[in-house]
A and B are shown apart, each in its own frame.
Chain A
Amino acid sequence: GQNIDQPTEMTATEGAIVQINCTYQTSGFNGLFWYQQHAGEAPTFLSYNVLDGLEEKGRFSSFLSRSKGYSYLLLKELQMKDSASYLCAVPNFKAAGNKLTFGGGTRVLVKP
């Protein structure tokens, strides 16, 4: 089976940095996705990591350690619009249909 854990909620100040952790247990590993979801809206793709290390994309970076079953999403220079839920997800290649299993999401609240 697959299990994904992330913190439920985090609060940070505008301009600061926040790190959202995700741990996973999977039978087989084929990469890890991060999605951003504003309240009541569709999740939107942020990043996909398949190899160990840090990938930077503007203010957002994502890190993966396959040996530790661990990833994090780093949000720098926080803006008010970054207030959203951040979802960690892993594909299950043993299941047909390109199934993505999602964590419960981390709600990030950015305060002025």
Chain B
Amino acid sequence: EAQVTQNPRYLITVTGKKLTVTCSQNMNHEYMSWYRQDPGLGLRQIYYSMNVEVTDKGDVPEGYKVSRKEKRNFPLILESPSPNQTSLYFCASSLGQGDGYTFGSGTRLTVV
């Protein structure tokens, strides 16, 4: 089944404790993105990747890092999480420019 798999689904952590949210897709898609979704603000792009070893900032990249060492994986790293990073996070992939996204199931992160 074609899908984007994110883990974990839920995570509660403390301020400053490094964490990684994993994302993997099995569709051989070139493009991958991370979005966060907050009430009243909608979906905002954090980082994106156009291919292996090619990543760049989206609209809200502060406090996040990503890597794309393999085509299928695109982890999101929070080196020192803060409470304002409490949000619902989605990983998404697409075949190419102009194609729609397939989204992962989401990760609800709470930073206390």
Contact = CB atoms under 8 A, between A and B. Distances in A.
Given A40-B108, A42-B103, A93 B43 contact: no
A36 B102 CA distance: 12
A98 B94 contact: yes
Nearest to B43: A102
Interface residues of A, number: 22
Interface in B20-41: 31, 33, 40-41
Main DSSP-derived SS at the B contact region? strand
Given A42-B90, A42-B106, A43-B90, A97 B49 contact: yes
Contact of B98 (A30, A44, A104): A30
Main DSSP-derived SS at the A contact region? loop
B50 interface: yes
B88 interface: yes
A105 B56 CA distance: 26
Nearest to B55: A97
B87 interface: no
B: contact size bracket: 20 to 34
B96 interface: yes
Given A43-B90, A103-B42, A98 B96 contact: yes
A70 interface: no
A71 to B, nearest CB: 15
A100 interface: yes
Nearest to B47: A97
Contact of B31 (A40, A98, A102): A98
A41 B33 CA distance: 17
Contacts of B33: 97-100
B61 interface: no
B98 A42 contact: no
Contacts of A99: 33, 45, 48, 58
A98 B31 CA distance: 7
Q: Which of A30, A40, A97, A103 has the most CB of B within 10 A?
A: A97
7 contacts: A41-B105, A42-B90, A44-B103, A87-B43, A97-B49, A100-B100, A102-B43
